[in-house]
Structures are given as C-alpha cells and as structure tokens.
Structure 1
Amino acid sequence: MSLYPVIMCGGSGVRLWPASRPERPKPFARLFGDGPTAFQDTAARAAPLGPLLVIGGADHGGLIREQLAEAGLDAEVILEPEPRDSAPAMAAAAIRLLRRDEEAIMVVLAADHHVPDAGAFRDAVVRAAPFARAGRIVTLGVKPTFASTAYGYIRPGRGESVRMVEAFIEKPDASRAAGLIAEGCLWNSGNFIVPATTLVYELGRMAPEVLEAAEAAVESATKSDTGLLLGEIFRTAPRISIDYAVMEKTARAMVAEVDFAWSDVGAWDVVHALSEQDETGSHIEGRVEVEGVSGAYIRASGGAEVVAVGVEGLAVVADGARILVAPLADSQAVKQAVERLRARGPAGYPGLETATADLGLWLRTAALPVWWSLGADRERGGFVEAIGQDGRPRPAPRRGRVQGRMIFSFAQAGRMGWDGPWREAVRHGLAGMTDAFLRPDGLVRSLVGLDGRPLDDSPFVYDQAFALLGLASMVQAGESADLALGLALRMREGLDNLRHPGGGFREAGDQPFQANAHMHLLEAALAWEEAGGDSGWTDLSDEIAGLALGAFIDHRGVLSEFFDADWRRAGGDAGRLVEPGHQFEWAWLLDRWGRARGRADGQLAARALHAAGLQGVDSRRACAVNALWEDLSIRDGWARLWPQTEFLKSALALGETEDALQAATGLARYLETPVRGLWRDRQGPTGGFAPGDAPATSLYHIVGAIRQLEELSPTLSA
C-alpha cells in the first residue's frame, strides 16, 4: 500500500481577520513574516510521504497552484464548487485516489496547522500506517501542553502509543479541559491515516448521502486551468464534518499519541506566541512605530501604517483599510464580530456623489496613467492584452477588439475632461489598429502575433463593433474626425458581406447566431448617431433593436444568447444560458434607443431586462454573477468585473438609485489591487478573488460606467 498525503484547504480562518479573508484565507496568508504560508509548510512536510493531492475551493485554485509552484512542489488539485465541510471533501479525495490505486492509504492533513518538527510528524505517520493497513482509521492525538478550550479532545483506550479511541470530546470549558488532561486525554489534531477503501466503506454505512454526492461529483468533474473541478452535484452533499459523519460512530477509530509541537494557529494570540518577540514581549511588524508598548502583537501591511502608544496586551492588525484592535486574551471572540460585519455586506458608498468622486478620482489619477504608461506598447504598436498585478505588461498575441476598446476609453477620457495625453493615446491606438489589424476590405482581423503577422484573419462582427465604437468616440472627442469617419463608412460597407439572409448578422466562429455581437454593434451604431452620422447608422440601430425585441428577449425580459438560423433559441445548454451582465447591458442600450425614438416598447423591455438581471445579483457580495439558467437559477456563481459595470450603467439609466449604489460598491472591490489603477477580474462564489492579470478589455467597461456616473448621478442625487 502507498501513502498519499491529502491536504485539506477548507476553513476560512475568520479569527485571523484581516490577514485571513475570503480571497486569501488562513492557509494561504503569510502569518510569520516573509516565510512560507501554512499551506506551503504543510505541503513541504507531507511531500516526502508520497504523491500530494490537494482539495480546496474553486475560488482558490489559482492560489493553490501559485503557492505550490513557489515552493517547488507539484500535486493533483481537486476543486470544490462550494465548501461542504470535511466529510464530502475527504469522500471526493478517496474516490479520486481509488481510481489511481485501489490500495491507497490517505494521510489527511489540514493545510493551516503549525508543526515545526516535520520529521517527527512523518515518523508518527509511518508508525500509524500499519494499523491503517489493517483497516483502521488512525488519528493523531497531540499530548496537551496546557488546558486549551479551543481544541477538541480524544480519550484513548489502554495500550501502547497507538490505541483504540474510547471517546471524542467537544471543545470543553477551562475546568473541564484541565480534568481531561489529568485523565490522559489528547488534543484532537484532525489528521488521519486511513485506507481510501475503509473511508468509502464507512461513509457508505454512516453517511450514504455524502458518498453518493461525492461519487457523482467526481464522475462529472471537469478539468480547469487550476485543477479538477468537481461536478455541480457536489453542492447537494450534506454539510458535515468527518468527525460527526464517521469518527464519532465508527468502531475502527484509533489514536496515535504524539508529543511534537502542534497548533492549529486559530487566533492572533497563538500567532503572537509563535512569533519572534522583543524585550517587551511584543511582536512588531511592518510600518509600525510604538512608544510604551508591551506584550502586544502589532502588524501593518497592505500600505497601512500604525502608531501605537501606551498599550499592553493588544492585537493591532492593519491590512490596508481593514483594522483589528482586540485584547490578545479575547482573540477567540474576533470570529463573532467579523461574521456580524460580513453579514452587513461590503462597505457601501453613502451616496452616489461619493461613489462618483471616488471612482472618478481613481480613473483619472491611477487607471488612465497606468494604462497609457504601461499598457501602450511603444515597440510593437497598439495596446497590450493585460498587465500583471506586479505592474508588468504581459506579452501575448493581440486581439483587434482590444485596440478599438482602448481607442474608445481614451477618447471618452478626453470628453470627460482628463488632462492627460488622451489624444496621443487615441492616435497610438488608431495607428496600432490600422497598421496591424486592418484588412484590405476595410474590416478588422481578429488576432495578430507579437511579430505583427496575422494569426486569425477572420472578421468577427464583435471586433468590427468595437472598431466602430472607438472611431465614433474619436469623432465625438474631436480627434482625427475625417479619418475616423472614412474608416467607419468603409467598415460599415464591409459589414454587408457578413449579413444573414434571415436578418441581422452571421458571426464568425462556432456560434454564428448570437445576441452579443449584435449588442455591441447596436452600441456602435447609437454612438455614430450621437456623433452626427448619416441615416445608415439609424437604420442599423433600428434593425438590431427590432431583432432584439422580436427574437432575443422573451416575455419575461429574459435574454437568450445563442440561436439557430431562424433566430429561435438554440437547443441544449447553450440555449439555456442567461448572462446577467448582458441583461443589464441590453437594458442600458434599449432604454437609450427607446428614449431616442420615443419607443415605449424599448424602454419597457429595458426595465424587464433589468428586473430579470437582478435575479443574478448576489447581495452578500454586491455583485452580478456570471451566468444563470433560463429559469434564472444560478448556473455559474463566479463573478467577473465587467457585469458589475453594466449593472451600474443599467441602474443609472433607469433611475434605480439603490441598485446603482450596490453596483458601485461591488465594482469598487475589484479595484483594490497592489498597483493602483489595475483591477482583479474574477471573484469566486464565497467572495475571494482569483489571482490573475488585469485584462485591458475591462477599461472600456470601467470608463463607460464612470462616465455614466458623472453624467447621471447629479440628477439621481437631487
């Protein structure tokens, strides 16, 4: 039988707020200076035992991969679509391992425990392994060093160092803890050595619903960039710990007594005790100045600065705008306070005036300067696809749509009064588009390599829409208007070759009949109308708006994304897709079109679209999720940045002030990054942000939303 360490990355570590947060929970936070995280330390301690398997939340797949790579380790990674506690997670890991090795012995470790003597830990596992091979579930029981009320206890039976378990005892009060230690009880470490077959057998007897959901989730799992994503049915597994599901019921439980140093690092008093301290018994870390401080833990990170005078026995932890102040002796009480804070949702703007001022300042003083200085490629022309969170541009093949969007963004910045080099940026984007992306027929190709050679010459309708939008914005801003108009008219003529005989346009690629390309073409046509274009733009706007009202949107205000050649909703899951971001984007456009034409049907459709889109807004996170099913149930609980901007624009256009405040609050969370002026793109279902670059395409969405804020919020705030 082979040993397979299984590292469990569940738990949120709320007591260690603000260092531990949904986007970076305790296992992945650096609690002890610049050393390894608890997850990295656990992985390094377990790796010599056998091939690693890591199971964690889908939110944190990127973090897991990044931290493994940083530690020079490799592992199979299983991702849960939703946390369901330890029993379902261990069940999924066991089922996955049995597909690899029918005799696999799992060594289950929590990712956030502190065990400084890695060798002693591995020796204990090896000592317990023969008992596991005999079909036992062996847990490691730590010999207590004080009467802790934060840990559960195990009463061992008679025998040598590996004994049968007589009882598991919940976390006791102080008096009871002292009595348990006197009786010879051990701390329950939550580490297990168990054959995968034994675990599956016991789960099947004692928690069959857990096992059934885990089996179905493994069977329906899909590969992602960061790991094996369990099927959605995993969400139906009962939320139950392995202790309640199996350990307190099984007759197979044994405990191996260990006396090495161990802690689950559950609160700031423990971090303080494990950290280096000065002569006053204090640990001071980061940009901190103290006077008359003793027995304290004071830490500043995320740009925060702390001055502490005359305090004793306090934890002061500042991470950016989040600050904890608590007596170290009351560290366990942090959880309740943080949970009450989270129940209130993200800190919101008090009014639209504040949101407008805050986001407008961020755009003008941070985002636009960053994207002109770092995002403009002076060597190859045009704009880069993305900038990393380290402030470095990411070299990658360029898409035509990015150039049109960046022209739009900087032209709009000029219209908004930005006193930066917006004209130079617009000209740079235009030169990049015409030099590398313009085809002989006047249309824009899809993809160009870093050497400037075409990689995909396809003229996507989507890409033409953004080229046209950028050109219209140039005319509106008064920059190279004649050149922009000439390019746009030739492009509009070229679009006739992409028309579909059944109406509308046929998109390139594997989804030729779609709403999305038409949506952005409508946006471009309306922009050209507002720029003083000819009647051809009006005709184009009316054609697309008519197609949307007649085919794309149903009687409930629900927008379908994909269709057949007769503009009937596509079959299968493609036809069942509903995107809240597009619900809001179409609402904003049809309201704009309806007002321009005096068409009540357009404005009514806009309100219905907005109302249906609200079904995809998670008020707890103040954000619109990626996707719904056609019955408006959640299909994809992740939330990219761009739907938040469209939620904001729609709410502003329709006069929904509370919705607009919620959308602005949700958007602002994406803009909290190490390099001011960048953004995070993907937020997980529990509120954490996935690691990743800031995509250039988002600037178009952000500029459009902030422009709408500045134009409409004075009216709504009056």
Structure 2
Amino acid sequence: MALHPVIMCGGSGARLWPASRPDRPKQFIPLLGPRSLFQETALRVAPLAGPGAELVVVAGVRHMPMIRRQLAEIGLEALILLEPEARDSGPAMAAAAAWLVEKDPLAVAAFVASDHHIPDAEAFRKAMVEAADMAADGRLVTLGVQPTEPSSAYGYIRPVGTGSSAVAAFVEKPDTETATRWITEGYLWNSGNFIVRADTLLSELATYAPEIAAVAESAVREATPHPIAPTRIIRLGKSFGQAPNLSIDYAVMENTTRAWVLPVRFTWSDVGAWDAIARAHAADEGPERADDPAPGCYVHAPRGVAVATLGVRDIAVVVEPDAVLVCALDRTQEVKTIARRMPLAVPGADRSFASAATRFTHWLRTSALPLWTTLGVEPDGAFADALSVCGRAQDGHRRGRVQARQAYVLAAAGLRGWRGPWRAVATRGLNRFIETAARPDGRLATLTATGGRVLDDTATIYDQAFTLFAMATFRRAGVGPEDLPARAGRILTAMQVDRAPSGGWREAGTHPFQANAHMHLLEAALAWEGLEPEGPWRGVADEIVDLCRTRFIDAGGGFLREFFDETWAPADGADGRLVEPGHQFEWAWLLARWGARRSDAGALDVARRLFQVGSLGVDHARGVVVDALDDSLRVTSSRARLWPQTERLKAALILGSMIEADQAAYAAEAEAALRGLSGYLLPNGVWRDKLNPDGSFVEEPAPASSFYHIFAGYEQLAASAEDLPELRDADLALG
C-alpha cells in the first residue's frame, strides 16, 4: 500500500476578506507565521508519501504560478492537477482519484485541505497513517477532532461508538446551544480530511454520484501536460467543467455505508474567519501591533503600516492596501456577505497586468498564429517576408533570417501547446529554406528569390545564428530531420573562417565588427547548450559573454555600443557612438539567463545596469522605447520600432523573476512595456513596425521578422508568470 497525500486547494476564504481574495485566497497568505497555510500543509503532509508516491496538489488554473512559487520557497515539488473550472470538493477528489488509479491501482489517497491550522504535524501524520491502514480495507475514513468548545463554525460527526467507529451521521453547523449538547453526546468536529483507497472512492461515486465519477474519469483521459512544466503540471480535460458542484460530503459521505471516523485530539482549526485567527494568537506576528493593547482585539496590517487602537475591545481590524475591515469578533462569520459586494467596488480590475497579458496571449492564439500559418506562407512552403495590413503577402525576395525566425516561432508555439498546424507548416518552411539556401559548406545563404533561386550567397553570422536557433527549437519540439545536431555542428565549424583576430566573429557587410550578430549567436548557443551540455556551445556562449563584458560594454558608462574596429575598440564617428536602447534590454535578458545558468551574480549586476541604460530611451509620453541614443545617453532618434518594446518586456520580466527585492518595480516596467507593445498590434494578427515621434505609424506592410521578437516576449511572459504575483491571474496558455 502506497499513501498519496493530495492537497485540495479550492475555496475562496471569503470570511477572511479583505486579506483573502479570489486571486489570493487564504491558503496562500501567511496568516499564522512566515509561511502560508498552503506551505504549512505541504510541509506537514509531504512526508506521508510512500514508496512510488508523491505529493499531489489539485488547484485552479489561476493559482498555478502561486503554488509553484510557494512550493519552491519551501524546497518541495509536487504534481499539480489543474482544474479548468472551479468545482467543489466532490469533482476535485474524484479527478485526483482517477489520476491515482491509473498510476497505482491500490493507491490510498490522503485528501487534506490546504487551509487548515494543525500545529502538531507529527500527531497529524500518525493519525493519517492509522487511518490509511483502515482505508486499505475499503473504508472511507475521516478524522474527527475532539471538540474543545461548542463551536457553531464547524460541521459535526456523530459516531456509532467510541474510538475508530462507523459514522452514524454527518450534521451541519449547529447553533451554540445544540453544539453544547452534541459535545456531551460524543459528537466530533468534521475536519474535512479524508483517507480512502482511490478505487473505493470511484466505486462509491459511481453508486451515489455517477455523473461526477464519469466526468472525472473523462477529464483525466483528456488531461494534457502543461507547457511550462509538462512533467509536473497536468491540465484536466475541459469536460471537468460539466461536473455538478457538489462537496464530497453531499456526493458520497452522507450516503455511503463505508464511512468511518478516527477521533483525534490534536489542535485543529480551519481558520475560516478572523475570530479563529485571533484565537490562534496571530496578532503577535510581524508588524501587527496596537499602541494601546485592547482586550480581545486582533489587528492585521501590511508591513510598514501602523495601526493603533484605543478604548475598544473584541474587534478585528484588518488593513490591506485597498480596503479596511473593522468588525466585532463575534460577527466575523458574516464577513463573507461584505466580500460578495466589495469586488464590484474595486476599480481597475480589467486593467491589470494579468488581463493585458491574457489579451496579448489571446491575440497570438486566435489572430497572429492562424494568420501567419496560412496567409503568411507561400505555395511552396516558404514564409512570406511581409504581409499587408489586409493580410496579403508581398511579392519579392526571401531573407534567410525571416525563414529561420518564422520556423522558430511556429515550433516554439507548438512547444507551448498551440493546436494550429504548426508542425507541418514549420517543418515544410524550414526544409524549403535549407533546400534553397544551403551552401556546400553547410551554411545558409542570406537571400533567395520567390522561386528559390539564390540572389545573395553571403553567409552572414546573423543568418547562421537564427538558423541555429530555429534548429535548436525544432529539436526541442521533436520535429525536423534527425540529423539537426550534426547540421548545426557543421554550420558552427564552417563559421570558423569568419573568426575575428581579436576574438569573436567577423560579420559580412559594411559593419564587420558588431555586437548584434554576436547577441543572436549567443541566444542560439544557449539554446543548443541546453540540448548538448557537453558540446561546443557552452564555450561559444562563454566567449561571447566575455567579449560583451570586456569590449562591447563601455567600461565607464556601463552601456553597450554597437560597432567596433578590428581590435573591438569603438568604431570611428557616429557608428561608434550609437547606443540602441532595445539592445541594452536584449543583452540584459541574455546576460541574466547566462548568469543564472553559470551562477554568476556579476552578470546579473551587468544586466541591471543595461536595463537602466535602456530605460533612458523610454518615451513616457508615448509609452514606448525609442530607436537610438548616443554615447552621452541622449536621444538621437525618437522614432520607435516595434522590436525594442518586446526586449524591454523580456528584460523586465526576467529581472523581476530573479531579483525579489525589486520584483514589484520590474513588474511595473514589464506591464508598461506590454502596453506599449500592444499599441503596435492590430486585431487581425498583423502589426505596425515604426511609430513616428508625432504618434502616427508608418504605413507599410508588417515585417514577418518582428514575429520572432513578439513571440520571444510571449515566451518570457509565460515563464515569468511562475514568479510574478501580478501575473497570477493571466491566461497564458496557447492551447
């Protein structure tokens, strides 16, 4: 018998308003100490996992980032089953049971609430193990807590006898007088913890609530891996939403003949209201203080907020940044009636970062990706270089970088769960590009005609970098030729002819010594390093980062230049003085990634400085990043292209994820960047590329090359959703 602890993360905690909200219910708030109730629950139950078992969490989609972040904070991992729609405990437990049965037919599940306060973890675990032995024999066991007072806040259990016993009845919350009588008659508090064999629970559901059993099993059959962590997060199928909204008590426990109760005497509370919190002595936590300690009063306030009470008693004072509750402690059970009304009075809910991120994701899923996989593809499979605002492909040449970038976008979209025809379109497009542009040395030419004839056989570092990046993305997605690693290796080997005498690579064209080509080669090297840790890519990445830190970045000013001479000194004239804000952000993003991979804190410091420089190019009146500064960091071009907006977004997101102390500030920058970017995007899936200083856009076709930047911004947005509280409600799924 393997015991599987399952934490149920449903519930809104409305009686603990205003601290508890739908986007941050009570289980995720540190109400009784430095850790949240969910974290305390996870630490309490994780040791119960038997051989071959693991901690399981059942939760709503919107709380997934918060769950992962809070588990990471306490050093735990869990398998997370995501409910597509909120339902009561009956469907949630049924789905978990159906999932467990597929993994272990004899699994015993310990279903526990995520928001209970149980200080004696060892006593709790001992009771759960005893209950598991009972459950292995086919009983549905619940823990019944020995009451310490006649409470009207809890439901009760009437056992048949003393000790572990069959259940005679589950009864609803009584009045105080009835509760007093029940205690004398041996009634127990209903703790809401259930220990049962998974197959037994499904069998009882099939008998007493067959619609729940059927929907749960269907939802598990339809379950899919979550693109952020496919081995750790599972999305239940949409059919889950068809389940009746029933608690497990109503669905099974009040009907089954197999219900048993195990009496326990440890301290327990569901901390459902502020009076329960007060009884748990939370008033002495953190900054919550009263200048005149009043008898029986409880004060809860954010750090840095002083609350004083004078001449009052038996009240709760709860302070949040946008709401304050003052109520009598004996009426805290009624707070939920206030909570139902108050959300309507909170302004700006639809203007949050999460809602903006959701709209951006929906635009990608329903407009941009469908458009560019249909009208953005030529009859022979190649990708169009541009689309008009009406969605018409523009006749002309095919740039190698566009072919590689579009192939990357579609493969990456597939990795993120997009259900469109990405696999066929991306594979055909990349194959067509390699077929028409391949040189004898394995590198790719920079320009071909619409029919495939090579117009420019030059093999630029820039184009090879994007080809390598696309190949790495294909490899991650499991598509494309099997010899992609070998092809990538041949390209890298062939590029040795372009090695610069002072390190790095010499680019073709009028600017042979430049930072930009190296930046994209670094991105490709990091992608391949993740696939081939022992290959040559780590060395390539490290060499480029060293060149960036010692030559590309000005030692005195901390900003990154664009063009250099053969010794990597700044180029003469205006070229050497050019500073592009967008590239400050883009390099910051890459250096933060590299630094995290190498555990190099210095790289993060450099990234922060580059972000500061890039921010000097933000035009706050228009809310966008301009094209150019000079080396005195003054604006020299107020035009604002689309791509710097995505780089500001990516850099702010990754720094917000990595630097906890400045998380809120970077999140605000990311939100501003996303709003600036959104101004370029048209509803039908195309975009404007150049914003004039007067606020008008240049009328021209949408360049396909911008899709790489847009989608990379989305990928970082999805990745950072795990870390940034501001994104906890965002729907960032492409599937």
Deviation of residue 41 (structure 1)? 1.2
Deviation of residue 249 (structure 1)? 0.6
Matches within 5 A, 1:44-443: 44-50=43-49, 51-158=54-161, 160-224=162-226, 225=228, 227-275=233-281, 283=284, 285-286=286-287, 288-291=289-292, 293-301=294-302, 303-342=304-343, 344-347=344-347, 378=559, 382=581, 384=585, 409-410=619-620, 412=622, 427=635
Deviation of residue 251 (structure 1)? 0.7
Letter in 2 for 1:215: E
Structure 1 residues 104 and 125: alpha-carbon distance in aligned structure 2, compared to 1, 3 A threshold: same
Structure 1 residues 324 and 285: alpha-carbon distance in aligned structure 2, compared to 1, 3 A threshold: farther
Percent same amino acid among aligned pairs? 43
Partner of 1:581: none
Partner of 2:688: 520
Secondary structure of residue in 2 paired with 1:27: helix
Taking structure 1 as the reference length, the TM-score comes to 0.54
Secondary structure of residue in 1 paired with 2:301: strand
Deviation of residue 175 (structure 1)? 1.1
Kept in 1, the 8 Å contact 2:219–2:239? The answer is yes
Q: Deviations over 1:615-636 (max 9, x none)?
A: xxxxxxxxxxxxxxxxxxxxxx
Deviation of residue 408 (structure 1)? 6.4
Matches within 5 A, 1:474-489: none
Structure 1 residues 309 and 530: alpha-carbon distance in aligned structure 2, compared to 1, 3 A threshold: closer
Distance 2:150 2:240 in 1: 38
Q: Deviations over 1:409-437 (max 9, x none)?
A: 44736999xxxx99976749999999x99
Deviation of residue 271 (structure 1)? 0.9
Letter in 2 for 1:412: R
Structure 1 residues 197 and 347: alpha-carbon distance in aligned structure 2, compared to 1, 3 A threshold: same
Letter in 2 for 1:204: A
Distance 2:258 2:73 in 1: 38
Secondary structure of residue in 1 paired with 2:726: coil
Deviation of residue 334 (structure 1)? 1.0
Deviation of residue 285 (structure 1)? 4.8
Deviation of residue 317 (structure 1)? 1.2
Taking structure 2 as the reference length, the TM-score comes to 0.53
Structure 1 residues 336 and 414: alpha-carbon distance in aligned structure 2, compared to 1, 3 A threshold: closer
Letter in 2 for 1:519: W
Deviation of residue 403 (structure 1)? 12
Kept in 1, the 8 Å contact 2:109–2:198? The answer is yes
Structure 1 residues 428 and 22: alpha-carbon distance in aligned structure 2, compared to 1, 3 A threshold: farther
Q: Deviations over 1:10-41 (max 9, x none)?
A: 111111122212222111100024x2211111
Secondary structure of residue in 1 paired with 2:116: coil
Q: Deviations over 1:34-77 (max 9, x none)?
A: x2211111111111211211111111111111111111112111
Secondary structure of residue in 2 paired with 1:82: coil
Question: Structure 1 unaligned runs (5+)?
Answer: 278-282, 350-375, 438-443, 449-466, 474-506, 508-513, 545-561, 563-638, 641-669, 691-718
Matches within 5 A, 1:511-590: 518-521=686-689, 524=690, 527=692, 537=698, 540=700
Matches within 5 A, 1:17-56: 17-33=17-33, 35-50=34-49, 51-56=54-59
Deviation of residue 276 (structure 1)? 5.8
Kept in 2, the 8 Å contact 1:154–1:165? The answer is yes
Deviation of residue 270 (structure 1)? 1.1
Matches within 5 A, 1:678-693: 680-681=726-727, 683-684=729-730
Partner of 1:8: 8
Structure 1 residues 232 and 409: alpha-carbon distance in aligned structure 2, compared to 1, 3 A threshold: farther
The CA RMSD measured in Å over matched residues stands at: 4.7
Kept in 1, the 8 Å contact 2:117–2:269? The answer is yes
Matches within 5 A, 1:549-698: 680-681=726-727, 683-684=729-730
Secondary structure of residue in 1 paired with 2:255: coil
Q: Deviations over 1:326-368 (max 9, x none)?
A: 11121111111111223x253369xxxxxxxxxxxxxxxxxxx
Secondary structure of residue in 1 paired with 2:291: strand
Distance 1:470 1:87 in 2: 44
Deviation of residue 91 (structure 1)? 0.7
Distance 1:429 1:75 in 2: 50
Aligned residues: 440
Letter in 2 for 1:258: V
Distance 1:679 1:135 in 2: 42
Deviation of residue 405 (structure 1)? 11
Structure 1 residues 95 and 408: alpha-carbon distance in aligned structure 2, compared to 1, 3 A threshold: same
Distance 2:256 2:248 in 1: 11
Kept in 2, the 8 Å contact 1:414–1:422? The answer is no
Distance 1:149 1:530 in 2: 63
Structure 1 residues 234 and 345: alpha-carbon distance in aligned structure 2, compared to 1, 3 A threshold: farther
Distance 2:76 2:136 in 1: 27
Deviation of residue 382 (structure 1)? 3.6
Kept in 1, the 8 Å contact 2:288–2:299? The answer is no
Structure 1 residues 119 and 348: alpha-carbon distance in aligned structure 2, compared to 1, 3 A threshold: closer
Secondary structure of residue in 1 paired with 2:64: helix
Distance 2:159 2:220 in 1: 35
Distance 2:630 2:620 in 1: 5
Distance 1:231 1:56 in 2: 14
Structure 1 residues 276 and 91: alpha-carbon distance in aligned structure 2, compared to 1, 3 A threshold: closer
Secondary structure of residue in 1 paired with 2:190: strand
Letter in 2 for 1:9: C
Distance 1:297 1:276 in 2: 8
Question: Structure 2 unaligned runs (5+)?
Answer: 350-556, 562-579, 593-601, 652-672, 708-716
Secondary structure of residue in 2 paired with 1:323: strand
Structure 1 residues 397 and 404: alpha-carbon distance in aligned structure 2, compared to 1, 3 A threshold: closer
